[in-house]
């Protein structure tokens, strides 16, 4: 079942998404070599609860943490632990919040300390591909248009690989709703998009090979070739002429700019 949202419901989803992004900005202000994922997870949970929300991931299908904390070759769903972050690491941080009955969801991949230009380019391409997909989230187009735009930009234009096993999703009163939103596909295929649909678009891109595996913890998904991976996510509302961003990476990027331990991730092309 696909649920289309009223304007009032979209406004509530936006509030949850903005708390997600403020939480990720708080994480960005603390992220540096020597800090652990577990420390950042505790800080994120405290921040969310102090601002009237509850962690959207903690306890969801048994997940044990507030953040999905995924360094280097970990694609998504990493569990924060006591391993210190090191210079040269890249870390995807995915966060969800539930507030006023609705979920928000967003993710950002951070570059900690000096990171090779090869890896920085992967992050820039993945971040830009997110907005390529968002440009297609317009009433009258189809789900395949979103996936095709991401996949073409990542694979044909830049030679990286889109992960197939994990996809974006609808979002609202539930964290994961229909439809699934793949980051690959054929133009003109799939469900027709209608105004009022709210979806999380989240390209997950591997450096060299698309294949992934799952760790023994039952959650952590990593690139089989152990090369770096990147992940960026926005929640958007489908509109008649241009998708509406319900999440906002700008507070995160402002926090990065204030943290000497992090490198900014510039977009490779201007976005609408």
| CB-based contacts of 28, cutoff 8 Å, min separation 6 | 108, 110, 252, 255, 256, 259, 262
Q: What is the pLDDT of residue 140?
A: 98
Residue 254: which pLDDT band, with cuts at 50, 70 and 90?
A: very high
Instruction: Give residue-wise pLDDT tens across range 219-232.
Output: 999 999 999 999 99
pLDDT at 168 over 70: yes
- Domain with 138 in it: what CATH number? 3.90.230.10
Question: What is the total residue count of the chain?
Answer: 272
> Does 268 reside within a domain?
no
pTM of the model: 0.97
Q: Facing residues of 268 across strands?
A: none
DSSP-based three-state secondary structure for 131: helix
pLDDT at 200 over 70: yes
Residue 208: which pLDDT band, with cuts at 50, 70 and 90?
A: very high
Q: What is the pLDDT of residue 246?
A: 98
Residue 270: which pLDDT band, with cuts at 50, 70 and 90?
A: confident
In this prediction, residues 4-23 reach a mean pLDDT of 98
> Does 2 reside within a domain?
no
pLDDT at 236 over 90: yes
pLDDT at 272 over 80: no
**pLDDT, mean over the chain:** 97
The H-or-E segment that residue 244 falls in is: strand 244-245
> Does 270 reside within a domain?
no
**Degrees to nearest 5, angle at CA 148 with 150 and 205:** 35
Share of the chain above pLDDT 90, in %: 99
> Does 63 reside within a domain?
yes
Q: Is the peptide bond before 162 cis (omega within 30 degrees of 0)?
A: no
> Does 183 reside within a domain?
yes
Instruction: Quote the domain boundaries for residue 197.
Output: 7-263
Domain count of the fold of the chain? 1
> Does 1 reside within a domain?
no
């Amino acid at each position: 079942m696909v649920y289309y949202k009223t304007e009032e419901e979209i406004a509530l989803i936006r509030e949850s998404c903005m708390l997600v992004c403020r939480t990720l900005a708080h994480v960005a202000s603390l992220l540096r070599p020597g800090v652990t994922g577990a420390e950042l997870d505790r800080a994120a949970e405290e921040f969310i609860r102090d601002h009237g929300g509850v962690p959207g991931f903690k306890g969801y299908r048994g997940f044990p943490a507030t953040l999905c904390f995924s360094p280097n070759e970990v694609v998504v769903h990493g569990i924060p632990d006591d391993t210190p972050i090191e210079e040269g690491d890249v870390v995807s941080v995915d966060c969800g919040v539930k507030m006023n009955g609705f979920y928000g969801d967003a993710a950002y991949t951070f570059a900690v300390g000096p990171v090779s230009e090869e890896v920085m380019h992967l992050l820039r391409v993945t971040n830009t591909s997110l907005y390529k997909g968002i440009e297609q989230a317009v009433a009258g187009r189809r789900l395949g248009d979103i996936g095709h735009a991401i996949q073409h930009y990542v694979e044909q234009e830049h030679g990286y690989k889109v992960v197939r096993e994990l996809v974006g999703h609808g979002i609202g009163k539930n964290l994961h709703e229909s439809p699934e939103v793949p980051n690959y596909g054929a133009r003109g295929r799939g469900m027709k998009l209608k105004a009022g649909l709210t979806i999380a678009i989240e390209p997950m891109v591997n450096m060299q090979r698309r294949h992934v595996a799952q760790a023994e913890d039952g959650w952590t998904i990593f690139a089989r070739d152990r090369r770096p991976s990147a992940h960026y996510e926005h929640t958007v509302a489908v509109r008649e002429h241009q998708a509406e961003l319900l999440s906002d990476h700008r507070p995160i990027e402002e926090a990065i700019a204030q943290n000497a331990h992090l490198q900014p991730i510039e977009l490779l092309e201007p976005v609408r």
